[in-house]
Amino acid sequence: MALRSTPDSRRSWRPGHAPWLVVIPLGLIVTVCVVDVLAPPHIHLGPLLVAAPAITVAFAGARVTALMGALAVTAQVLIGALRGVLPTANIQAQITALIVVSFVCVTICVVRDRRERQLQRVRSVAEAAQSVLLQPLPTRAGPLRIAGLYIPAEEEADLGGDLYAAARTDHHSTRLLIGDVRGNGLAAINNAALLLGAFRAAAHRQATLPRLAIHLDAAFRWDTAQWRPEAAQDTDEDFATAILLDIPDDDPVVHLIACGHPPPLLLRGDRLTPLLPEASHLPIGFGGIFGVAAYDVQTFPFEVGDLLLLYTDGVIEARNGDGLFYPFTERAPQWCKDAPDELLRLLQDDLLAHVHGHLDDDAAVVAIRRLAV
């Protein structure tokens, strides 16, 4: 299961989301009409009616804006008729100005709505592509219950440089990858796609975890460098920190290879233990450059009931307005008894509250609990 922070959940309001606000221009029209008719002859509030269509633009579409403009013009005509000044040049100028302003407001709405529809189509295509790229994690994999959380730093994006993936093997184990690609924007998304594609193609058929790591490093370096000009080979640095895990179904352990990535956290009861490997290898993309031919696998106990948390540095480096880092290792044990998906919901709410809804970097978390076989 994968949880994602969508643009709608991170933006509290936008045009069209509060139709009840139509009472504001309606109330304005009625108030101006009544007060102007009852006021002394030297007081004229009719020009204020221009605010009705102008206000409506902010929260409604072209039809409602046109309706408010028509009601405002009708109210102006009614005021002129009741006060006996309809034939005068002054009231006719006010009516003409109100018609022009209403037309301009409706035009603005039409242009805005057309662009909103175009943007929505682009978003739907992007969401489809992103859902294929960062596929949801399986809810169950053997004795494991899994959930993933992704929070992009950019409000209008669903994907950045952080990534995760899972795969089943023929020898009854589950392999997982979590990583963080250097940089951001389209370049980071492209490199994340390369790494995810290499993992999905090889995770189920590479016999050992070190061979998988070697394959990912070689594939990543080749794909990111094959079209690069020779002069830029030494200046452009594409790499990704990553953790590779292999969790057997019938053995209460977890095997992992760390490639410059923050260590996983093991929650057992109320106790939290970082799984610190003896050797942390170079990030993916650097291994072959420095002649690394082998990867060391570290093995840690992972028993029934244990919870494993994988994460990227966007979580532990998230700062609030006072510059304080998010206390991930202090908060996580509070939710260790919850199901993985519920834990990630609580974590997402707590993390976004800490940073007041704005992350400076993408954040990804994977929660894995081992159940009885």
- Residues 11-68 have pLDDT tens digits of 444 455 566 788 999 999 999 888 888 888 778 788 889 999 999 988 888 899 999 9
> What is the spatial distance between Cα 207 and Cα 195, in angstroms, rounded to a whole number?
19
Structure confidence at residue 367 (pLDDT): 96
In angstroms, rounded to a whole number, what is the distance separating the alpha carbons of residues 295 and 300?
16
Side-chain half-sphere CA neighbours of 359 within 13 A: 28
Residue 222 pLDDT: 80
Compute CA distances 86 → 50, 93, 307, 367, whole Å. 18, 10, 78, 72
User: In whole angstroms, what separates CA 184 from the centre of its chain?
Assistant: 14
The residue with tokens 């290879």 is 257
238 sits in which H/E element: none
Whole-angstrom Cα distance, residue 279 to residue 50? 71
In this structure, what DSSP letter does residue 320 have?
-
Give the C-alpha distances (Å, rounded to integers) separating 243 from 74, 142, 255, 343.
68, 20, 10, 21
Q: What distances in angstroms separate CA 252 from CA 72, 108, 152, 268, one per listed residue?
A: 73, 63, 33, 13
pLDDT at site 134: 75
* The pLDDT of residue 12: 41
Residue corresponding to tokens 């109330």: 27
Give me the residues of the chain with pLDDT under 70, please: 1-19, 125-132, 154-160, 183-185, 223-236, 288-293
At 372 the pLDDT is 87
